[in-house]
């Protein structure tokens, strides 16, 4: 059992290096096995296919990201049960948790954003946009009910992509977590203040 666990970990470590360097499509299973010092037969003993091996690296960090987002959205939806005026720093704790998770798994998320073509994660950005869009639309509707206005869904969609694009830019352009956090906090404070713009009064 110990030997099996060690072999599996060697394969995952080797695969992580190969996927991060070459991306999903260009990664070679033969190279992964050779670098891990095992046969291709050993790889298929642990993983059904290339997709399963990629998932062994990406699934954990990605699923935890979704869990962090959903937990925050539940808190935000509860806030929207009554009139809510955003204040600077309202979301600092959430942003800190989110950025820390992204940078604890920096190579994985950079890979998902730039080198996941051909894998089940090739549309991860669109999937995240759908989650954000749906959630922010619901929260904006609650906000609109308090301010006596109607939700401008087009504006919600625009702001959703502004937020998502800010985080994508952060991951693809800033490797230092501390600098990234300082920049993204300012961006989030700016965007949070503008949420009343999604209500047509």
For 52-103, what is each residue's pLDDT tens digit? 999 999 999 999 999 999 998 888 777 666 655 555 445 788 999 999 999 9
19 and 43 within one domain: yes
Which residues, in sequence order, are CB contacts of 172 under 8 Å at separation 6+?
A: 110, 113, 114
| 103-129: average pLDDT | 96
156 and 66 within one domain: yes
* Domain membership of residue 14 as a residue range: 1-47
3-state percent helix, strand, coil for the chain, nearest multiple of 5: 80, 0, 20
Q: List pLDDT tens digits, range 2-44.
A: 778 999 999 999 999 999 999 999 999 999 999 999 999 999 9
171 and 124 within one domain: yes
Long-range contacts of 173-178, Cβ-Cβ distance < 8 Å, separation of 24 or more: 175/106, 177/99, 177/100, 177/103, 177/106
How many domains are there within the chain? 2
CB 102 within 8 A of CB 171: yes
Say what the pLDDT of residue 196 is: 60
160 and 140 within one domain: yes
The candidate with the shortest Cα–Cα distance to 75, out of 100, 97, 106, is 97
Structural domain includes residue 52: no
CA distance 145 to 150: 8
3 and 86 within one domain: no
40 and 107 within one domain: no
What's phi and psi for 123, nearest 5 deg? -110, 25
Task: Give the predicted TM-score (pTM) of the model.
Answer: 0.88
Structural domain includes residue 53: no
Cα dihedral: 167, 173, 178, 184 (round 10): -30
Q: Cα separations (Å) of 135 from 74, 77, 105, 116, 141?
A: 9, 9, 25, 25, 10
What is the CATH number for 189? Answer: 1.10.357
15 and 62 within one domain: no
Say what the pLDDT of residue 29 is: 97
CB 56 within 8 A of CB 18: no
Q: For residue 192, is pLDDT > 50?
A: yes
Structural domain includes residue 113: yes
Structural domain includes residue 111: yes
CA distance 84 to 58: 36
């Amino acid at each position: 059992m110990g030997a099996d666990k060690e072999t599996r970990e060697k394969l995952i470590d080797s695969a992580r290096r190969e996927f991060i360097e070459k991306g999903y499509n260009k990664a070679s299973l033969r190279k992964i096995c050779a670098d891990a010092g095992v046969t291709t037969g050993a790889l298929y003993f642990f993983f059904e296919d290339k997709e399963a091996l990629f998932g062994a690296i990406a699934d954990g960090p990605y699923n935890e990201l979704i869990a962090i987002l959903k937990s925050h959205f539940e808190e935000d939806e509860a806030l929207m049960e009554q009139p809510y005026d955003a204040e600077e720093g309202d979301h600092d704790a959430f942003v800190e948790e989110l950025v820390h998770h992204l940078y604890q798994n920096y190579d994985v998320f950079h890979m998902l954003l730039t080198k996941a073509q051909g894998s089940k994660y090739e549309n991860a950005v669109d999937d995240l946009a759908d989650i954000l869009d749906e959630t922010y639309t619901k929260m904006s509707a609650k906000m609109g009910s308090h301010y006596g206005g109607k939700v401008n869904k087009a504006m919600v969609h625009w702001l959703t992509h502004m937020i998502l694009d800010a985080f994508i830019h952060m991951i693809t352009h800033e490797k230092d977590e501390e600098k990234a956090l300082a920049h993204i906090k300012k961006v989030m404070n700016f965007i949070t203040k503008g949420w009343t713009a999604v209500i047509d009064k």
